[in-house]
């Protein structure tokens, strides 16, 4: 049976490919992520289809711009009825506050459930060498902690981080804070471009509330079987 803690990333580029995957995975998966690849290819119809199928939708467009532009974008995405969406924590306090206010006001105006907002911290494809190359002065762990604290203060509901930082964020930001971790690799999968990753059970054990899993399921020879293995692995966590 489905487990809302698993969010499957639909990183494909057509509505048809998306529908095929969702049909294949059936009742096993209740939560899907629509990211840039799919949204820029197939647009809002992707979200509408998933909602019609009774799925939860995480729209991951990683907004990062001046506060007014981000706030107006959050209003537009709120109208689509998504459950979760992302913005970059690096956009800063006023951008995050404006986004949180926009989601609150637009959902109240439409009398729909408020989408939860997630601040992206440091991407899971970045290791310490890559981090220093872009000017990182402290460690990745320190930076993620700073961004997670700022996100909470700014009215954001949770973070996207690697599972390596989940434990500290959970300790700092309390039990209700959402900690969504990509960079998940079951023992049967390859790392691909992920650098800071761990297994599904370890990530949950360390405090993640949700796991984003793409290729280990979607590119598996048998996606349904891969999803079943992951669901079995996390049953006891
Ligand atoms: O925001 C994200 O979802 C995200 C943040 C991050 O730091 N790392 C990361 O991999 N992601 C997304 O999570 C998914 C991971 O996919 P797989 O590596 O195929 O499991 C992709 O859709 C990425 O866009």
Task: Note the pLDDT tens digit of each residue in 76-119.
Answer: 999 999 999 999 999 999 999 999 999 999 999 999 999 999 99
Task: Note the pLDDT tens digit of each residue in 138-176.
Answer: 999 999 999 999 999 999 999 999 999 999 999 999 999
Residue 189 burial by CB count (10 A; 0-12/13-18/19+): exposed, middle or buried?
Answer: buried
Please state the ipTM of this predicted complex: 0.98
Q: Specify the pLDDT at position 236.
A: 87
Residue 1 has pLDDT above 80, yes or no: no
State yes or no: 28 annotated in a binding site.
Answer: no
Q: Specify the pLDDT at position 160.
A: 98
DSSP 61: E
Q: Is 194 in the pocket of ligand 1 (CB under 6 A)?
A: yes
* Boundaries of every domain in the chain: 6-234
CA–CA dist 159, 122 (Å, integer): 10
- What predicted TM-score, i.e. pTM, was given to this entire model? 0.97
- Probe target for ligand 1 pocket from 212, 218, 226, 230, with the most ligand atoms within 8 Å of CB: 212
CATH domain 6-234 topology: TIM Barrel (3.20.20)
């Amino acid at each position: 049976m489905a487990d809302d803690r698993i969010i499957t990333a639909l990183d494909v580029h057509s509505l048809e490919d998306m529908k095929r995957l969702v049909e294949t995975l059936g009742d096993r998966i209740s939560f899907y992520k629509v990211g840039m690849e799919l949204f820029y290819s197939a647009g809002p119809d992707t979200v509408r289809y998933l909602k019609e199928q009774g799925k939860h939708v995480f729209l991951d467009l990683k907004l990062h711009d001046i506060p007014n532009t981000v706030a107006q974008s959050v209003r537009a995405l709120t109208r689509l009825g998504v459950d979760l969406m992302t913005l970059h924590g690096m956009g800063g306090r006023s951008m995050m506050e404006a986004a949180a206010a926009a989601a609150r006001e637009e959902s109240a105006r439409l009398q729909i459930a408020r989408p939860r907002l997630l601040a992206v911290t440091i991407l899971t494809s970045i290791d310490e060498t890559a981090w220093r190359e872009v000017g990182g002065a402290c460690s990745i762990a320190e930076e993620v902690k700073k961004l997670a604290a700022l996100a909470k203060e700014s009215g954001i509901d949770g973070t996207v981080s690697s599972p390596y930082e989940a434990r500290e964020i959970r300790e700092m930001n309390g039990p209700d804070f959402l900690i969504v971790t990509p960079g998940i690799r079951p023992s049967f999968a390859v790392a691909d471009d992920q650098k800071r990753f761990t297994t599904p059970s370890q990530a949950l054990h360390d405090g993640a509330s949700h796991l984003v899993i793409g290729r280990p399921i979607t590119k598996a020879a048998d996606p349904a079987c891969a999803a079943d293995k992951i669901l079995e692995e996390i049953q006891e966590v």
